[in-house]
C-alpha cells in the first residue's frame, strides 16, 4: 500500500526494533513536542453548543417580539419569551451534560499502547507514545499513532474505519499502518512515524464518540415544519399587521391615536402562536430525559438523537460470546483421537504464547507445566481462517489448532467419521470445540508467509471449552420476542454449539446455519436471514453483510457485540450496542455502550426509546394543531381585516394548560409501542383538520358576536372556546385514559376553571363577563367544534390503521388496528355513551358560563359544579372510545356509571311517586347498554380488565 504521508525528517536515525528507544531518547522527544499527547474534542465545543441553542432563527423572532413588548410596556403579554429562554437553557444544559459524559468516556476508555523501550515491553497511555517508538502489535490492539511495519508474523490490520475497505489487510515489512486501525490477526512490530495532531488516531477514534446529530426522522420533521413556518411568518406578519392597523382606523389614524400599540401586540400574538417552540423544547427534554434514565441504568448514549433509533429497532443481532454468554472461556476436557507424541507440550506452548487469544490462554493452567518448546515457524490465528499452526525447532512436523470444520472440512460434520462423531456430540451439548491436528512435514518459511495449511494433517485430539450462559439472557430474549423484535444470533463458533446455547436461553433453534454456505447473492442472503435465527462460523465481513441484508428488507437493525470482529457490523447497524468490557474499537463505533456489560439492560434500552418517540408523536399533534390554527387564524383575520381575538397573555393560558404542561407529563409516560416511520404524515393527518376546525370556529364566533359586545368580552369568549376545545383535543389524544393521564387532563381543566374564576387571575388575563347571549354562542360553537374534533379523531385513527396495515407494519399505540368487528349491540351502546358524554359536556359548559350571572359568593360553587359535569362528559366520551376498542376497563366503568344513573332514577321514582316517561326511558336505555356490553356477542369482544387500555 502506498504511503499516505511522507516520512518525517526526524526519523533519519535508525531505531533497533528489538531494543526500542531509551529512556533518555523518550524524554528528549517528549520535551521537543514529539509526543502523541493530543486533547481531542469528543463533543461540540461550548461555544458551538450555545450558538446552536440560542442563536437560531426562531429564537431571534421570539426574542425580538419579547423585546418589543417590553419596550411598549406590555410585559404582561411577553410570557411566551420565557418558553424560548427555557428552551435555550435546557437544550444547552443537556448538551453540556452529554459533552461531559462523552469526555469522561473518552478518558476512561482510552486504549493502552504496548511499546518496547530499553528492550522491555510495557503498556503506556496513548498520549505518552513518542515519535520513533517501537509498537508491539497483537490481535485486538488499536494503533495509537501512524506507524511503519518493521516485522510481522501473519499481521492483519482492519482499516475499514479509515478507508472503507471491509477486508482485513495483510501487512508486510515496510507497509504503513494507520492510527485508529485495528489488529485482527497475527502480531508484529512497527515504528511510530507520525504523532499528535498530525496522526489519524484521535481524529478517527474520537470521531465515533463525537456528539453529533445523527439521522432522526423526528428532528428532520420538526425542522421541516419550522422551515415552512419560517417562510410563512414574514408575509403573514405583514398581512396581520396591516389588518390590525386597518381595524384600528387605518395606519395614519392608528399612529395618531396611539392604537398602533395594540395593533402591534395583536400581531405579535398571532406570530408567536404560529411557532411550535414547545415541540422543539419537548423533543430536546424527552431525548435528554431518556438518555439520563439510561445512564442511571449504566447505559451510555453517545448521541442523544440515538434514543430515537432505539424505538425503531425491530431486529436485534446478538453475538454469542459476551452477550448471551459471559465471555469468559474455561477449559473443559480433551479427547485423544490418535496418540501423537508432543501433543501436551504443544498445548502448553499455545497457552503460553504471547499472541495467545482468550481461548488459547485457558490451556495454560492444565498444560502450563509441560516442558517449554521453541517455535521455528508459526502461522498466527485469524478470525477469517479460524486456525493457527506452529513448527518447533529440533522436531519434525507441524501442529495445527483451530475450528474442526475449517481444518478437516466435511469430515468434521460427518457423524460416521470418528472425528465428526465426537465434534457433533460435543457441539450439540453447547460446548465449544477445537481440534489439534498434526502434519508430518514442518512448516517452511514460504508456507508461513503464505499462511498455507500443511498437507496431510490428521486429527490428534479434540478439545472442548465451556462458556457460562448469562443468567439474564433467557428473560431478556423472552422480552424481545414478546415485543415483536426479531432475534438473530450470529457467532464465529460452531453452528451446533451456537444453536445449543440459543436453545438454552429459550430460542427455537433446532440447528444453526453454517455461514460458510451462505449465498453470495444479496437477495438470497436476505431470504436466508428471514428464515433462520442462529448462524455459526460467521466471519467479520459476513456479519456486516448480514446486517446489510436485513436492512435491505426494511428492518431497523441493532447489533450487539464486544469483540474486534463485531466492529464492522456494529458500525453498519442502525443501532450499534457495545459492552464496556469490549475492545476500544468496538466501543468507538457504537452508539450505545453498556457500561456494566449487563445484557439485561437491553430491554430498558429498547423500552426507553419506544417510550420517548411514541410519546413525542402523541404530543406533537397538540403542538402542530396549534401551529395550524394559529397560522390559519392569522391569514383569515388578515384577509377579513378583523382585530385579532386574543392578547398574547390569553394565548399563554391555552398554550400552557392545554398543550405545554400536559405535553411534558404525557411525553414521560410509559409506552412500549414500536416506532414506525411516517411521524409527520400521521401527526398532520390530525393536526391539519383539527386546526382548521379550531380556526374556523373562532372566526365564525368573532363574526357572529362582533359589534354586539366590547373587545374584552369578545376576547374572553374566544379564550373560553379555545380553552374548552383545547382541553377536549388534549383528552382525545390522551386516550385511552388511565389514572395518570386522567389526572393530568383533569388537573389542566381544573386549572383553567380556577384561572377563569379567581378575580386576580381574571384581572391579569383581562377576562370579563361575556354576557348571557354571548355565553350561548360560546356554548354552541364549542359543542360543534367538539363534535367535529371527535369525528376527525375517529377518521384519522382509521386512516392511520389502514395505511399501516397496508404497509405490512403494526400500528402505533393511539392508532391500533381493530382486532375484531364490533358487534352491532356494542356499536349502538358506544354511540349512546358518546352522545350522553357530549350532552353532559354541553350542559356542563352552559352551567359553567352561568357563573357570570350569579352572585359573587356563588361563583366558586357554580364553577365547581359546571366543571365537574363537563369533566364527567369528557370521561364518558373517553370511556366510549375505550368501548370501541374492546377495553374491559371501559366496560366496567360504563356499567358502573349506568348502574348508578339507573339507581338514581329508581330512587327518584320511589321518592316522588311520579312515574314519568323520561325516567322510565332512561332506566330502559341504561339496561339496554349494560345488556349489550355483558351479553353475547359483546362478551367475546372485550378484553380482560387486566389487559385493557
Mean pLDDT, all residues of the chain: 77
Instruction: Tell me the pLDDT band of 538, cut-offs 50, 70 and 90.
Output: confident
Residue 686 has pLDDT above 60, yes or no: yes
Phi and psi dihedrals of 298, rounded to 5?
Answer: 65, 35
| Least-confidence region, from 108-112, 532-536, 826-830, 933-937 | 108-112
Active-site residue, from 319, 493, 562, 604: 319
pLDDT at 852: 61
pLDDT at 80: 63
Residue 241 has pLDDT above 60, yes or no: yes
pLDDT at 948: 39
Residue 234 has pLDDT above 80, yes or no: no
pLDDT at 525: 92
Q: What is the mean pLDDT of residues 93-109?
A: 55
Which of 4-13, 179-188, 407-416 has the highest mean predicted lDDT (pLDDT)?
Answer: 407-416
pLDDT at 855: 67
pLDDT at 915: 61
Q: Which residue has the higher pLDDT, 842 or 486?
A: 486
pLDDT at 802: 73
Which of 548-562, 591-605, 815-829 has the highest mean predicted lDDT (pLDDT)?
Answer: 548-562
pLDDT per position as a tens digit, 364-419: 888 988 888 889 999 888 766 788 899 998 888 999 999 998 899 888 888 889 89
pLDDT at 688: 92
Phi and psi dihedrals of 807, rounded to 5?
Answer: -85, 0
pLDDT per position as a tens digit, 52-72: 677 766 677 777 777 777 777
Measured CA to CA, the distance from residue 697 to residue 889 in angstroms comes to 34
Q: What is the DSSP letter of 140?
A: T
Measured CA to CA, the distance from residue 571 to residue 137 in angstroms comes to 23
* Share above pLDDT 70 across residues of the chain, in percent, rounded to a whole number: 80
* DSSP secondary structure letters along 692-760: HHHHHHHHHHHHHHBTTB-HHHHHHHHHHHHHHHHHHHHHHHHPSP-HHHHHHHHHHHHHHHHHHHSHH
pLDDT per position as a tens digit, 636-684: 888 888 887 887 777 777 877 888 788 777 777 776 666 666 778 888 8
pLDDT per position as a tens digit, 310-358: 777 889 998 776 677 776 778 888 999 988 899 999 999 998 887 777 7
Which of 604-608, 625-629, 889-893 has the highest mean predicted lDDT (pLDDT)?
Answer: 625-629
User: b/e string for 815-850 if b means 16 or more Cβ within 10 A?
Assistant: bbeeeeebbebbeebbebbbebbbebbbbbbbbbbb
Alpha-carbon distances, residue 947 vs 814, 879, 889, 942, 943 (angstroms): 16, 15, 8, 10, 6
Instruction: Tell me the pLDDT band of 168, cut-offs 50, 70 and 90.
Output: low
Name the pTM for this structure: 0.61
- 932: Cβ–Cβ under 8 A, 6 or more apart, which residues? 823, 825, 826, 828, 829, 938
Measured CA to CA, the distance from residue 690 to residue 684 in angstroms comes to 9
pLDDT at 450: 83
Alpha-carbon distances, residue 675 vs 615, 662, 710 (angstroms): 10, 21, 49
Measured CA to CA, the distance from residue 154 to residue 150 in angstroms comes to 13
pLDDT at 36: 81
Instruction: Tell me the pLDDT band of 817, cut-offs 50, 70 and 90.
Output: very low
- Is 914 noted as a catalytic residue in this protein? no
* DSSP secondary structure letters along 587-652: HHH-SEEETT--GGGHHHHHHHHHHHHHHHHHHHHHHHHHHHHHHHHHHHHHHTT---S--HHHHH
Residue 904 has pLDDT above 60, yes or no: yes
Which of 557-561, 676-680, 754-758 has the highest mean predicted lDDT (pLDDT)?
Answer: 557-561
Residue 161 has pLDDT above 60, yes or no: no
Residue 361 has pLDDT above 90, yes or no: no
CB atoms within 10 A of CB 332: 17
Instruction: Tell me the pLDDT band of 108, cut-offs 50, 70 and 90.
Output: very low
- 282: Cβ–Cβ under 8 A, 6 or more apart, which residues? 616, 619, 623, 663, 664, 667
pLDDT per position as a tens digit, 246-283: 777 777 777 877 778 777 777 776 777 777 766 776 77
Instruction: Tell me the pLDDT band of 3, cut-offs 50, 70 and 90.
Output: very low
Amino acid at each position: 500500500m502506498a504511503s499516505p504521508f511522507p516520512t518525517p525528517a526526524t526519523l533519519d536515525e535508525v531505531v533497533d526494533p528489538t531494543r526500542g528507544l531509551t529512556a533518555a531518547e523518550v524524554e528528549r522527544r517528549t520535551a521537543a513536542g514529539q509526543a502523541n499527547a493530543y486533547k481531542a474534542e469528543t463533543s461540540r465545543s461550548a461555544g458551538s453548543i450555545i450558538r446552536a441553542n440560542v442563536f437560531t432563527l426562531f429564537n431571534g423572532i421570539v426574542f425580538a417580539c419579547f423585546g418589543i413588548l417590553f419596550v411598549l410596556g406590555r410585559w404582561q403579554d411577553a410570557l411566551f419569551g420565557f418558553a424560548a429562554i427555557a428552551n435555550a437553557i435546557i437544550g444547552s444544559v443537556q448538551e453540556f451534560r452529554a459533552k461531559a459524559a462523552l469526555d469522561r468516556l473518552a478518558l476512561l476508555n482510552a486504549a493502552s499502547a504496548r511499546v518496547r523501550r530499553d528492550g522491555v515491553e510495557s503498556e503506556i497511555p496513548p498520549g505518552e507514545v513518542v515519535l520513533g517508538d517501537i509498537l508491539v502489535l497483537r490481535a485486538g490492539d488499536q494503533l495509537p499513532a501512524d506507524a511503519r511495519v518493521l516485522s510481522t508474523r501473519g499481521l492483519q490490520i482492519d482499516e475499514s474505519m479509515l478507508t472503507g475497505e471491509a477486508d482485513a489487510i495483510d501487512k508486510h515489512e515496510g507497509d504503513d499502518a494507520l492510527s485508529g486501525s485495528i489488529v485482527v490477526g497475527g502480531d508484529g512490530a512497527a515504528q511510530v512515524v507520525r504523532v499528535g495532531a498530525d496522526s489519524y488516531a484521535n481524529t478517527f477514534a474520537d470521531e465515533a464518540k463525537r456528539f453529533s446529530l445523527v439521522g432522526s426522522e423526528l428532528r428532520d420533521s420538526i425542522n421541516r415544519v419550522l422551515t415552512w413556518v419560517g417562510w410563512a411568518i414574514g408575509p403573514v406578519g405583514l398581512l396581520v399587521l396591516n389588518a390590525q392597523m386597518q381595524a384600528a382606523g387605518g395606519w395614519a389614524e392608528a399612529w395618531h391615536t396611539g392604537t398602533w400599540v395594540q395593533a402591534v401586540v395583536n400581531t405579535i400574538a398571532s406570530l408567536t402562536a404560529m411557532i411550535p417552540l414547545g415541540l422543539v423544547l419537548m423533543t430536546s427534554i424527552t431525548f435528554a430525559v431518556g438518555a439520563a434514565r439510561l445512564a442511571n441504568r449504566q447505559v451510555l448514549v453517545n448521541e442523544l438523537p440515538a434514543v430515537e433509533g432505539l424505538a425503531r429497532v425491530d431486529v436485534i443481532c446478538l453475538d454469542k460470546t459476551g452477550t448471551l454468554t459471559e465471555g469468559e472461556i474455561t477449559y473443559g476436557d480433551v479427547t485423544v483421537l490418535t496418540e501423537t507424541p508432543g501433543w501436551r507440550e504443544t498445548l502448553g506452548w499455545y497457552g503460553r504464547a504471547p499472541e495467545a487469544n482468550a481461548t488459547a490462554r485457558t490451556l495454560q493452567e492444565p498444560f502450563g507445566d509441560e516442558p517449554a518448546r521453541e517455535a521455528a515457524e508459526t502461522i498466527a490465528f485469524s478470525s477469517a481462517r479460524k486456525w493457527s499452526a506452529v513448527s518447533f525447532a529440533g522436531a519434525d512436523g507441524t501442529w495445527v489448532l483451530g475450528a474442526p470444520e475449517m481444518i478437516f472440512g466435511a469430515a468434521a460434520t460427518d457423524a460416521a467419521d470418528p472425528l465428526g462423531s465426537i465434534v457433533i456430540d460435543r457441539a450439540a451439548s453447547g460446548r465449544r470445540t477445537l481440534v489439534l491436528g498434526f502434519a508430518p512435514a514442518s512448516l517452511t518459511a514460504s508456507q508461513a508467509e503464505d499462511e498455507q495449511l500443511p498437507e496431510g494433517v490428521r486429527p490428534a485430539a479434540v478439545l472442548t471449552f465451556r462458556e457460562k450462559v448469562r443468567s439474564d439472557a433467557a428473560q431478556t430474549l423472552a422480552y424481545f420476542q414478546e415485543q415483536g423484535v426479531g432475534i438473530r444470533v450470529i457467532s464465529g463458533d460452531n453452528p451446533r454449539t451456537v444453536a445449543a446455547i440459543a436453545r438454552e436461553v429459550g430460542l427455537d433453534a433446532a440447528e444453526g446455519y453454517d455461514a460458510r454456505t451462505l449465498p453470495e447473492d444479496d437477495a438470497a442472503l436476505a431470504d436466508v436471514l428471514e428464515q433462520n435465527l442462529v448462524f455459526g462460523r460467521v466471519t467479520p465481513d459476513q456479519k456486516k453483510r448480514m446486517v446489510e441484508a436485513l436492512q435491505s428488507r426494511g428492518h431497523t437493525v441493532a447489533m450487539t457485540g464486544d469483540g474486534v470482529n463485531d466492529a464492522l457490523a456494529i458500525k453498519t447497524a442502525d443501532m450499534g450496542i457495545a459492552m464496556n468490557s469490549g475492545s476500544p474499537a468496538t466501543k468507538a463505533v457504537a452508539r450505545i455502550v453498556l457500561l456494566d456489560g449487563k445484557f439485561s439492560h437491553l430491554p430498558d434500552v429498547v423500552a426507553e426509546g419506544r417510550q420517548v418517540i411514541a410519546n413525542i408523536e402523541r404530543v406533537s399533534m397538540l403542538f402542530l394543531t396549534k401551529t395550524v390554527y394559529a397560522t390559519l387564524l392569522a391569514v383569515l383575520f388578515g384577509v377579513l381585516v378583523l382585530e385579532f381575538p386574543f392578547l398574547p397573555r390569553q394565548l399563554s393560558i391555552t398554550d400552557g394548560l392545554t398543550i405545554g404542561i400536559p405535553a411534558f407529563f404525557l411525553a414521560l409516560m410509559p409506552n412500549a409501542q414500536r416506532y414506525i416511520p411516517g411521524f409527520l404524515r400521521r401527526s398532520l393527518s390530525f393536526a391539519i383538520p383539527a386546526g382548521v376546525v379550531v380556526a374556523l370556529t373562532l372566526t365564525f364566533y368573532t363574526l357572529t358576536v362582533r359589534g354586539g359586545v366590547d373587545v374584552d368580552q369578545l376576547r374572553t369568549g374566544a379564550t373560553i372556546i379555545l380553552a374548552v376545545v383545547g382541553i377536549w383535543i388534549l383528552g382525545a389524544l390522551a386516550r385511552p385514559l388511565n389514572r395518570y393521564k386522567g389526572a393530568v387532563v383533569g388537573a389542566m381543566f381544573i386549572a383553567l376553571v380556577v384561572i377563569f374564576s379567581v378575580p386576580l387571575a381574571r384581572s391579569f388575563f383581562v377576562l370579563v363577563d361575556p354576557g348571557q347571549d354571548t355565553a350561548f354562542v360560546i356554548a354552541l360553537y364549542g359543542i360543534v367544534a367538539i363534535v367535529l374534533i371527535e369525528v376527525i379523531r375517529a377518521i384519522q385513527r382509521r386512516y392511520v390503521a389502514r395505511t399501516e396495515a397496508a404497509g405490512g407494519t403494526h400500528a402505533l399505540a393511539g392508532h391500533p388496528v381493530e382486532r375484531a368487528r364490533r358487534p352491532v349491540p356494542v356499536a349502538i351502546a358506544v354511540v349512546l355513551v358518546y352522545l350522553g358524554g357530549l350532552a353532559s359536556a354541553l350542559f356542563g359548559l352552559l352551567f359553567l358560563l352561568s357563573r357570570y350571572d350569579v352572585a359573587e359568593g356563588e361563583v366558586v360553587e357554580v364553577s365547581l359544579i359546571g366543571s365537574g359535569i363537563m369533566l364527567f362528559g369528557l370521561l364518558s366520551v373517553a370511556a366510549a372510545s375505550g368501548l370501541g376498542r374492546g377495553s374491559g376497563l371501559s366496560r366496567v366503568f360504563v356499567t358502573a356509571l349506568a348502574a348508578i344513573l339507573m339507581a338514581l332514577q329508581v330512587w327518584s321514582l320511589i321518592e316522588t311517586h311520579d312515574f314519568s316517561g323520561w325516567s322510565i326511558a332512561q332506566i330502559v336505555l341504561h339496561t339496554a347498554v349494560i345488556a349489550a356490553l355483558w351479553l353475547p356477542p359483546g362478551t367475546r369482544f372485550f378484553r380482560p380488565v387486566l389487559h385493557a387500555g
